[in-house]
Amino acid sequence: MTTVVVPLALVVVLLAPPVTASAASATDARAEARERFDRGLRLFDEGDSAGALAEFRRAHELVPNQLVLFNIGLVYAALARPVEATDALDGVLRDPGALPAEKLERARRTRDEQAGRIAQLAVATNVPAVIDVDGVEAGRTPLEAPLRVASGTHVIGALATGHLPSRREITVAGGESKEVSFELVATESRLAHLALESGLPGADVLVDGTLVGRTPLPASLALAPGTRVVTLRRKGYREERQELVLAEGATGKLRIDLEEDPHVSLADKGRLALQLRETEVHVAVNGHARGVYAGPLVLPAGPHRLRLDRAGFVSSERAVALRAGDEITLRITLDPTPETRVGYVDRVQARSRWGWIATGGGLALALGAGGVAWWSQQSLPELESRLAEAERAFTEGSGGECDPDSALGAMREVCQARVVDADTELSNRKLLRTLSAVGAGVGVAAAAIGLYLLLTNDDPHRYDRPVGQGSALTFVPSTWIHPGGAGAGLRVLF
């Protein structure tokens, strides 16, 4: 039985098999969808909403389901992507299927909340042009309808063949409608294309003092040829500027990595703590190695890209945003490579096997040797009495047949042999008692070692993937803790 903790913000999904011509294909798709859904739950629980979204979307592609789509809409909302959240929840509301009434009401409420965070941008250009929002193509003019964007600040760009590109920074509020117009200037020069790379996310990219986007840029920048000054800046880091001479039609790459500003106060930084199941995990932040993780990381406020590496495990990357003065904790589970998984299970099973052997053999030895020691101890008084009687009979003046004064030579030898035999038997029995006691002690020690091996052994199913089995799901109440807060949820038993 595998357990998964699901926040109430997510709904547990019973994935239905798709109708296909091949039963085997349907079974494979169902199994993969269930595995991806389980992985998405784990990633969401660990604070990786982006990773969870990717898994949920793939699960929905494999096995379309309205409850899965509902989960996707909620994750989009958690990622502050109201346009995508509204579209997903609109799909749920158009065809709710078997969605329970309470979930349908939550879909309507969340959809309305997200719709209130969307602004409308009517973009016009003097010539047909490609319009991009934050570096991502959003449409072509003339637009059939205003662009929908999340409230906040965006960089709107307009690009047309034979014209110089134009970009503008726009700030819009939820529910606001704004008009933006671009007057593109014709040029005979062919534009240059510059791909800018940086390990630091969320840094402003400026060309000749004009904001053109933020890292990571989704595409190369189309720039007018000539001398250009590219600037990268972000609070908490030292600004970096590079001057470039771009030829007509040139293409190139530029990498700029910013260094932390040592003069930034702690009040402008946040702390990132990691809960890791493994030891000796190497951490890199924004492409810079930080060594083996040993404690919370103090970083400038804002977004960061985290990478975790450990020999024998699959590398894990995570996006995290810190607020000044706050500390967040992420629980991250590294997935072992197939070789590590097999080796781990073999070691655990071998330790368990030797633990049972030592425990069982030790207990058997302790019981057997202890019984012999007890029997030996119980027989000692009789043997001691027999020796004492033989010694008294062989004492001068005893008056018996073994009295040295009256016993004949042959009888004397017989009586002396009785004393020697009684003494030898008593000594042997004492030796057996001692050896048995030692054996019992060895057995107890072996059993203790075996119990130690068993009690301190790892779980052979530690790295098993929580793949659901069968069609029945069981729900029990639970609580959950997330970097953004805490709450109640459901524990799902597959």
What pTM was estimated for this model as a whole?
0.68
Residues 420 and 291 both lie in one domain: no
Please indicate, yes or no, if residue 39 is contained in any of the structural domains: yes
pLDDT in tens, 149-167: 999 999 999 999 999 999 9
pLDDT digits (tens, 9 = 90+) for 170-216: 999 999 999 999 999 998 889 999 999 999 999 999 999 999 999 99
Tell me, yes or no, whether 467 lies in a domain.
Answer: no
Residue 104 has pLDDT above 70, yes or no: yes
Contact 443, 367 (CB under 8 A): yes
* pLDDT for the residue 392: 79
CATH code, domain with 249 = 2.60.40.1120
In a domain, 342, yes or no: no
Same domain, 205 and 153: yes
The b/e string for 3-36 (b: 16+ C-beta within 10 A; e otherwise) is: ebbbbebbbbbebebeeeeeeeebeebbbbbbbb
pLDDT of res. 473: 34
Contact 163, 190 (CB under 8 A): no
Give the model's pLDDT for residue 178.
Answer: 94
Let me know if residue 345 belongs to a domain.
no
207: left (phi over 0), alpha (psi -120 to 50) or beta: beta
User: Given this model, what pLDDT does residue 395 score?
Assistant: 77
Q: What percent of the chain has pLDDT over 90?
A: 61
350 lies in some domain: no
Same domain, 126 and 247: yes
pLDDT digits (tens, 9 = 90+) for 48-70: 888 889 889 999 899 888 888 99
Under a CB-based contact definition with an 8 Å cutoff, are residues 246 and 223 in contact? yes
Q: Is residue 14 part of a domain?
A: yes
Q: How many CB atoms lie within 10 A of CB 485?
A: 8
Residues 240 and 148 reside in one and the same domain: yes
Query: Which residues span the domain enclosing 20?
Result: 3-116+480-493
pLDDT of residue 360 exceeding 80: yes
